[in-house]
Structure 1
Amino acid sequence: MSKIEIVYIGNKPIKKDTVTCSRLVFSRHDPVAVDNDVGQRLLEYPTVWVLKDNLGEVLKKQEQQDQLLAEAKAVEAANQAKQQKDESYLVTINDEEIDIAKYSSRQLDTLVEAEDLVITVPKKPVQPYRDAVRDSLRNEAESTDAIRGE
């Protein structure tokens, strides 16, 4: 009987043949010579086994998919970090972090006066006013950091 070389390309380090009950054990990306009829049955699962000759292009394709996945995860992490920052009301004043989430409009007024901020948003409702104060304080802190060279 003729033999062909089959390569396991799945995620596990070792795969046992449960399809044909041949008791063959495949190491990931290592070719194994199998009988032609067993090999043909295994090749019916192209996401698990491929011919040895096709391994190079499959690895290249997996590498591209891994790179795209890594880029997508990086973008998602950046989006989550931005969202967390947008939802947070921690601001830095004189190298001290202050949470203004619970500040009333009068406390915010005092903060605006003390920091000489120019806020054009109306004081009522409080939430948009709080957002404007937070954004203004963060912009001021960023510009101060840029001047310091940090």
Structure 2
Amino acid sequence: MSEATPGYELPLRLFAAFRAAIDEVHAELARRGHPDVRPMHGFVFQAIGTDGTTAVDLAARLGVTKQAAGKTIAALERQGYVERAADPGDARRKTVRLTARGVEVLALSARVFDQVQDRWAAVIGADRLAALHTDLAAVAPGELFRLDAPGWFGADR
């Protein structure tokens, strides 16, 4: 690497690329009827998963307080993306599940991320994009989905 490129630029460029992809996906979600979905909601939808979860477990997965998780659940419930229901295994607990609208957002997001990747391949070449994937996996090993990112960005860290 050139000495002319300071080390702090790498995380900034990675973040800028992340932000460009996320912004493009959310612009398309808005065009397709989901203008109220925010980047953090993707983490929430993934943390809820196809089987649902409790508010306490959601908070732990996201690395946020139970109050923050509850507030997010309430907002997403009002927007029609999640629903709360009695837990079939324990009537005292409520399970948070994605609605058909929430599942639609996940499926649409996946398709748009594929389109973003295709555009990046057109810009830098499919081979270089594949190498970028491989290189990033080598320097950022471990879980692909770090759902605790919202909490990691929090002010109390």
Both proteins in one fold, TM over 0.5: no
**TM-score between both structures, scaled by the size of structure 2:** 0.25
Length-normalised TM-score, structure 1: 0.26
Higher relative contact order (CA 8 A, sep 6+): 2
More strand by share: 1
